[in-house]
């Protein structure tokens, strides 16, 4: 009986509610009413509290959005087919900045109402909202002295950051068909505002394959900015149907088009692009060579390994770095000797990336050069070399890594301790114990972890001393290390930690380890 009553109530609600409130989109009557609309009148109602003088370019925006689907805006009170009514409320966000109130952001909320001339048909509405604050989520809005006046709060930026564009174009798509929304978004790819162009790209990527053919039709436009945006969008949609079109663009006279096309082919990862990409790997423009290297690394066809190795001798350091990154993706041992050579490159960023790559390839042939790199004048090179030696795990690196526990830079000391723990040679126990009171807590934590991996009972006493460290992360590492060593001498000190440590997590970890040690 209760089920029947519930069903009856649901039916009554469905009959009472207007159709557009029950369904997610417009009714058939609303779609029909707007299908022939060619002229609309705008009604804009802007309210901003304190900032009443602030004006938003709503009319310009709406005209721009309606133009691609052939609808004009009129100011006539008589000649129009429908009304678009936009209501916006806004509040400036004030912050205290050196004693002054600066209106550095704002909030917006409002509604968009499409109203047919036929008053028997209800309006179709969408709500929108947005908020920005340069101190948190929008660093593009720079603070300035004018912002002390609430009317100068960056409401235009708030409008762009809001979902106004999305909601308006979504409505057009529902009333006029999906192709209308696609046309509007493609038109916005030409916008000079980077944030609006980014919105358009993201929206078209979300639409996916339905947007591909209209986008392909724009590849021959004379507007270079639009072509670049179209290529990026097609790359992110990743439909293989565009591969041949993008391959053709690798021959374009404009280097930015060649570069962007290579990037897009890398995103799609279709092996048809490998040979054409290799063909331009020596392009005169370094940005193109970088894009080609990155793309080949993403596609991962073995034919690309030798051409990428050849880029390790490129005159541009960033090209070499992209080639190294691509070779890391292949993990082909053929690249070992060329990568070892780049450890001696004059550019420190190249040397750093080479050390990182050699660590990923884990070939013992690299150990002698990586040991030499532990004395490089650049911190990052030394740090990555220590990390690489730990990954390779060759015991020839133990003594040089022990020396690095005294390095002037804490990141090198940290990676050296980690590497010694991974290699697992007990020769490192005494040096690690001597370094256990390092001034940097991250290093102390790393040393504790390394001693735990080595599982030597000599480390129990110094690890117990770390149970009183001021940093909870260090205490956690010490507890975990004692749990690995499993020496009964740690039981009583761990009991004290389990009952009285100031950190809930540390107390829990101590109890967990005690449950293992007391078995």
Q: What's the CATH number where 496 sits? A: 1.25.10.10
Q: In the block, which residue shows the tokens 């090179």?
A: 381
- 304 in any annotated domain: no
CATH no. for residue 36? 3.40.50
Give the model's pLDDT for residue 140.
62
Q: In the block, which residue shows the tokens 């557009």?
A: 20
- 301 in any annotated domain: no
DSSP H or E stretch at residue 28:
helix 28-35
- 479 in any annotated domain: yes
- 58 in any annotated domain: yes
Sequence-distant (6+) residues with CB within 8 A of 451 are 421, 429, 432, 433, 436, 459, 462, 463, 481, 485
Q: What ranges in 155-254 are assigned the alpha helix state H?
A: 155-161, 164-176, 178-188, 194-207, 212-216, 224-237, 243-249
Smallest CA-to-CA distance from 308 within 137, 486, 298, 147 is with 298
Give the model's pLDDT for residue 10.
43
Distances 97 to 107, 116, 130, 135, 144 between C-alpha atoms, Å: 19, 48, 23, 11, 10
Give the whole-angstrom CA distance, residue 429 versus residue 435.
Answer: 10
Structure tokens at 305: 């390994």
Structure tokens at 336: 């070992």
Q: In the block, which residue shows the tokens 């948190």?
A: 136
Query: Residue 306: CA atoms inside 13 Å, Cβ hemisphere, count?
Result: 3
Domain C-terminal end among 173, 192, 207: 173
Domain that holds residue 93: 30-173
Domain C-terminal end among 141, 173, 205: 173
Is 276 in contact with 298 (CB distance < 8 Å)? no
Give the model's pLDDT for residue 5.
41
Smallest CA-to-CA distance from 44 within 63, 58, 55 is with 58
Structure tokens at 160: 């762009």
Span 210-239, mean pLDDT?
96
Domain C-terminal end among 121, 144, 173: 173
- 155 in any annotated domain: yes
Reported confidence tier of residue 468, pLDDT bands at 50, 70, 90: very high
- 51 in any annotated domain: yes
Give the whole-angstrom CA distance, residue 226 versus residue 468.
Answer: 62
The length of the chain in residues reads: 519
Give the model's pLDDT for residue 313.
96
For residue 41, the SS3 value is strand
How many domains does the structure of the chain reveal? Answer: 2
Is 331 in contact with 304 (CB distance < 8 Å)? no
Tell me how many degrees the CA angle 253-259-264 measures, rounded to the nearest 5.
120
pTM: 0.85
Give pLDDT tens digits for 25-76: 899 989 998 888 999 999 999 888 877 777 889 999 999 999 999 999 998 8
Q: Is the pLDDT of residue 305 over 60?
A: yes
- 14 in any annotated domain: no
Distances 247 to 4, 252, 254, 264, 404 between C-alpha atoms, Å: 63, 10, 14, 10, 49
């Amino acid at each position: 009986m209760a089920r029947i009553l519930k069903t009856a109530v649901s039916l009554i609600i469905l009959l009472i509610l207007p159709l557009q409130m029950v369904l997610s989109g417009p009714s058939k009557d609303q779609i029909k009413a707007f299908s022939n609309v060619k002229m609309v009148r705008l009604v804009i109602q802007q309210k901003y509290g304190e900032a009443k003088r602030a004006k938003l370019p709503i009319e310009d925006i709406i005209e721009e959005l309606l133009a691609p689907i052939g609808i004009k805006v009129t100011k006539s009170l008589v000649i129009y087919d429908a009304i678009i009514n936009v209501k916006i409320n806004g509040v400036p966000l004030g912050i205290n900045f050196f004693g002054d109130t600066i209106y550095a952001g704002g909030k917006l909320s409002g509604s968009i109402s499409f109203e047919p001339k036929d008053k028997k048909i209800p309006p179709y509405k969408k709500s929108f909202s947005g908020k920005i604050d340069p101190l948190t989520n929008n660093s593009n809005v720079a603070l300035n002295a004018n912002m002390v006046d609430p009317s100068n709060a960056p409401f235009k930026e708030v409008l762009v950051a809001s979902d106004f564009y999305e909601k308006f174009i979504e409505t057009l798509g529902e009333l006029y068909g999906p192709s209308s929304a696609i046309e509007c978004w493609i038109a916005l790819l030409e916008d000079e505002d980077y944030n609006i162009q980014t919105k358009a790209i993201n929206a078209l990527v979300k639409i996916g394959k339905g947007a591909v053919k209209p986008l392909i039709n724009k590849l021959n436009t004379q507007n270079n900015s639009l072509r670049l945006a179209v290529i990026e969008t097609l790359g992110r949609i990743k439909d293989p149907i565009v591969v041949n079109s993008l391959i053709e663009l690798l021959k374009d006279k404009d280097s930015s088009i060649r570069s962007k096309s290579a990037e897009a082919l890398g995103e799609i990862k279709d092996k048809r692009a490998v040979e054409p990409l290799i063909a331009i790997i020596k392009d005169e423009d370094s940005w193109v060579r970088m894009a080609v290297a990155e793309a080949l690394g993403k596609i991962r066809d073995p034919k690309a390994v030798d051409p990428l190795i050849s880029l390790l001798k490129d005159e541009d350091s960033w090209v070499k770095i992209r080639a190294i990154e691509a070779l890391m993706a292949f993990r082909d041992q053929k690249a070992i000797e060329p990568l070892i050579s780049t450890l001696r490159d004059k550019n420190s960023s190249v040397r750093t990336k080479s050390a990182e790559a050699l660590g990923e390839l884990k070939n013992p042939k690299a150990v002698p050069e990586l040991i030499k790199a532990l004395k490089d004048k650049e911190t990052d090179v030394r740090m990555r070399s220590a990390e690489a030696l730990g990954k390779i795990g060759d015991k020839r690196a133990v003594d040089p890594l022990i020396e690095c526990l005294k390095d002037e830079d804490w990141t090198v000391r940290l990676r050296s301790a980690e590497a010694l723990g991974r290699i697992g040679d007990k020769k490192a126990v005494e040096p690690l114990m001597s370094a256990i009171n390092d001034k940097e807590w991250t290093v102390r934590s790393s040393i504790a972890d390394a001693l735990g991996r080595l599982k030597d009972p000599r480390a129990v006493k110094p690890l117990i001393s770390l149970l009183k460290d001021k940093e909870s992360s260090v205490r956690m590492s010490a507890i975990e290390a004692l749990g690995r060593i499993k020496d009964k001498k740690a039981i009583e000190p761990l009991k004290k930690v389990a009952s009285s440590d100031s950190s809930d997590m540390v107390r829990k970890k101590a109890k967990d380890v005690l449950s293992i040690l007391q078995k």
